[in-house]
Every structure is written in structure tokens, then in C-alpha cells.
Amino acid sequence: MLAFLSFSNAQAGTEEAIWNFDSDIIVNTDNSIDVTETIVYDTGPLERHGIYRDIYQYSSVGYKMKIESVEVADENGQPYIFSTAEEGKNFRIKIGDPDKTFTGQKTYVIKYHATKAVAQFKDFDEIYWNATGNEWPMPIYEANASVLLSSTRMHYEIEKVLQSACYFGPKGSPKHLKTNFGHSTGSNLDWLDCSIPFEDKDGGMEFREISLGVNEGLTIAVGFKKGFVAPYSKVDRISDYFGLLVTGALFLIIFFSIFLYWYKKGRDPKGTGVIVPQYDVPDNLTPLEVAGIMSKRAGAKNISSEIIYLAEQGYLKINEIPKNILGIFKSKDYELLKLKDFSGLPNIFDQKLLNSLFGENSSSVKLSSLKNKFYGEAKVMMNAVSDALLNKGYYRNFGIFPARSEKGVTAKEYLLGLKDYLAVTPFSDRAGKI
């Protein structure tokens, strides 16, 4: 004993460590547990504000436990400053004064209540508990845990215990010792540090581990007879998934609402289904409008056709400018000449198009000068085309699901007839018809 005390005193203060970690667990008949942890912490030569205690919030069968009624005090019952928060799957208790540091040793007595901590199986129920946690960045010189089955706060029922085991080391460590009322059923006990549980004077199960390294922990398991704790109700079983169920229900409601909206307003009318060859464009539609009716959205590639159309209407002239490069390579550019004022054009998108080409004061422009400049305004013009088709009655709406009106479906079938005519008729035979 003297040798041990001398060694302990010599070691004290040389490194940051937890000297003792005692966890006393009372299992209640409502599947909750009351936990009292006594932690003797030494900062070593370091200055610290306090400690973090991270408690894993999920039981061995996946139920999320509610950690509540947290109290933190010293060994004399004087309360410490602390706060709580969820950190991932852990419940974190942050203990200490953020404005003060200390060196040396402090004792923390942490009490809390955890719901839904008992795992229920077909033939037995079980408390499976990581008594220390594995998040400590310092060694634990001695860790102990005890489990008491309590039908009241003063009556313990050890006779209901069927089996017990303890596990120690890093997370997922296979090191364990299975026991049965203090009589080992394991083998190779010489290398196992986790001692055999035994009946203490209060009728409980106690587990001891001499020392744990950095990020090592002590986990205990106690299986007991069915009937000690109340079976989980259906509400208990689904409460963990309540948020997920609500989210899923909202998703389904939104999905079906969108589906119903599309079914009622987002689909085109059926139409006749009969395509008759046609010889001209209906309603004096422009190329951009034709593209919008056929594909529900005009694109920038249709702008060239619209420029040619406006030239045919006499608003501009297109001149080809041959170019020679070093007298060898030949290329072409095009000059657009403004012929008349276009403020009276019936379609706003055509006005926007010509304004984009010529600006306010210019009367001519080369296509090569518009490269990487003009098409930046194409989206504005395409939106103007959509508005025009909506205002003219070819569409009922242009939202997430653009839907043609009966007029729009009729126009599409008419244009399909024109497309069929153009596909089979030689160009020379079209004169006078288009």
C-alpha cells in the first residue's frame, strides 16, 4: 500500500488524467435509468476551464434516448456552471467557467435521467451502457460501474438478473468477460483486466476496470428477466421516427399536390390527333413563336431565323462581307443594316431583339462584333416570347409545367401539318404557296 501511495503521489500532476470514474446506474421499471457519475479529474501541468462529458444518445437497439434532469456539482454538493447541447449523436455536457481556468484536481458529480435506455428482446431485457464514453483525450486510471435494478428507489432486485458482461478498450474492442452472478464462464482470464461482476451489499452488479488508455472506454451489459420493465408501447416504438414520418408525410403531400396541379393544369388538351398538310404559318406567327409552340420553349438557336424573318418584313437588311486572310483563307461576315424604325413592331420580343442588335444610335452592326455579347440577352427575349404566347392564348400557364391551351394544341397540329408538307414538297413547287 505504501508503495502504491508513493507511486500515485509521484505520478500526480505529471499528466492530464482522470483518476477515478465511477458510474452508478439505477434501472427503473419504465425503461429509464438514473445515472450518477463521479469523475476525479486532474489537469496535470495544464490550465483548463473544465471538462466535456459526451453521452451517446442511442440505445443498443437504436432508440434515441432523451437525456434530461442534468445536475453537476462537486463532491460537497456545490453546483458547477454547465451547459448542454447535442453534438451529432452525442449529448454533450460542457462543465466549467468560461472566464476562469484552474490547475490540479477537481471532482465532478454528474447526475442525469435517460429515457428508453433498456433494450427489449424476446426472452430477456438488457441494459447495455457505455459507462465512461470513449471520447476522453486522456487516460482513465480507474473506471468502475454498478447496475441496480430498482422497482422502487429503495428496493433492488438482483434475483431478476440473468447474465452480465463487460467490455473495455477502444470503440468496437472485442475484449470482454462474460459472467454469471460472480462466477466466470470465460477463459484466458489472465489477460483480461475487466474484473468479474459481483453482488454488492445493496444487491447490485459491479464492474471494475483498473485502467483505460486515451479514447478507451468501459461498457457494461446486464440481462434480466422479462417483466421487470414495462413493454414498450407502439407510441414508444415509433416516437423516434416521428420526425422522419412527418417529413415523409409532408413530402408525399407536396408530391401529390404537384401531381394534381400538373394533372389538372399542366397537361395539354387532347387535340384531334389528325395532321393535315398545311401551306403557310397560322396567325402570322414568327419563327420564335413557332418554336415556342412546338417545343414549349423558344431557344437562342431560333434567333437567327427571327432575324431573317425581320429582314423579310423590311426592318433590316443583311449584307454578306467576304474576308480574305493573308490572301489564302476566305471567311464570311455579315453586316446588318437598320432600314426603318421598329418601335411599332407588334411583338415586344422583336423590339427587344432589334434593340439588342443596334442599340439606341447605331444603324449598322457586324455579326462578328456581337460574338459573346448579344446572346447574353437571349434569356430576356425568350421570356418575352413566352409572355407573348401566353397573352395570345396559346398557353394557359408558363410555370413549372407549361401547358398549351386548346388554341395552342390546334396551332401545334397545324404546324405539324406544315412540317409534313415541307418535308415532302420540292422547294421549286412551294412558290406561290408560302
User: Tens digits of per-residue pLDDT, 143-191?
Assistant: 999 888 876 545 556 667 778 888 888 876 655 554 444 433 333 333 3
Q: 14-233: CATH homologous superfamily?
A: tricorn interacting facor f3 domain (2.60.40.1730)
> In the predicted model, is pLDDT for residue 198 greater than 70?
no
User: What is the average pLDDT across 267-292?
Assistant: 84
Query: Domain map of the chain by residue range?
Result: 14-233, 271-430
Please state which of the ranges 5-14, 72-81, 401-410, 412-421 shows the lowest mean pLDDT: 5-14
pLDDT band at 243 (very low <50, low <70, confident <90, very high): low
Q: Each residue of 206-235: pLDDT tens digit?
A: 887 668 899 999 988 888 888 888 888 776
Q: Is 423 left (phi over 0), alpha (psi -120 to 50) or beta?
A: alpha
Residue 45 to residues 16, 49, 140, 145: CA-CA distances in angstroms? 7, 13, 17, 29
| Residue ranges of E strands in 186-328 | 205-209, 217-225, 316-325
Beta-carbon contacts of 196 under 8 Å, excluding residues fewer than 6 positions away, are 177, 179, 182, 183, 184
Identify the pLDDT of residue 269: 80
> What pLDDT shows up at residue 430?
52
**Comparing C-alpha atoms, which of 316, 401, 301, 330 is closest to residue 363?**
316
pLDDT (tens digit, 9 = 90+) per residue, 365-400? 888 887 766 666 777 888 889 899 999 999 887 667
Quick one: average pLDDT of 302-322? Answer: 90
Q: Is residue 24 over pLDDT 90?
A: yes
pLDDT of 204 reads: 64
**What pLDDT shows up at residue 376?**
66
Q: What is the average per-residue pLDDT within 286-299?
A: 86
**Which amino acid belongs to residue 261?**
Y
pLDDT band at residue 287 under the 50/70/90 scheme: very high
Highest-scoring range by mean pLDDT, 12-21, 57-66, 68-77, 167-176: 68-77
b or e along 254-287 (b: 16 or more beta carbons within 10 Å of the residue's beta carbon)?
A: eeeeeeeeeeeebebeeeeeebeebeebeeebbb
Q: Residue 416: is its pLDDT beyond 60? A: yes
Tell me which of 11-15, 106-110, 403-407, 417-421 is least confident: 11-15
Residue 163, pLDDT score: 80
Nearest in space to 130 (alpha carbons), one of 214, 185, 60, 200? 60
Contacts of 198 (CB under 8 A, 6+ apart): 182, 205, 206
pLDDT band at 256 (very low <50, low <70, confident <90, very high): confident
| Residue 101, helix vs strand vs coil | coil
Percent of the chain with pLDDT over 70: 78
Residue 11 or 161, more confident: 161
Quote the mean pLDDT of the chain.
81
Q: How confident is the model at residue 241 (pLDDT cuts 50, 70, 90)?
A: low
Read out DSSP for 36-78? EEEEEEE-TTS-BSEEEEEEE-B-TTSPBPPEEEEEEE-TTSP
Biggest CA–CA distance in the chain, Å, is 120
pLDDT of residue 188: 36
Higher pLDDT, 274 or 411: 411
416 vs 237, more confident: 416
Percentage with pLDDT > 90 across the chain:
34
Of residues 175 and 125, which shows the higher confidence score?
Answer: 125
pTM for the complete prediction? Answer: 0.56
> Residue 182: its pLDDT value, please?
40
Q: Is the pLDDT of residue 418 over 80?
A: yes
Residue-level pLDDT at 336: 92
Of the given ranges (7-21, 39-53, 271-285, 291-305), which has the lowest mean pLDDT?
7-21
**pLDDT value for 2:** 30
Overall average pLDDT of the 407-431 stretch: 76
Say which residue, 154 or 281, is predicted with more confidence.
Answer: 281
User: Residue 52: what pLDDT?
Assistant: 94
The answer to whether residue 48 scores a pLDDT higher than 80 is yes
Average pLDDT (23-35) is: 93
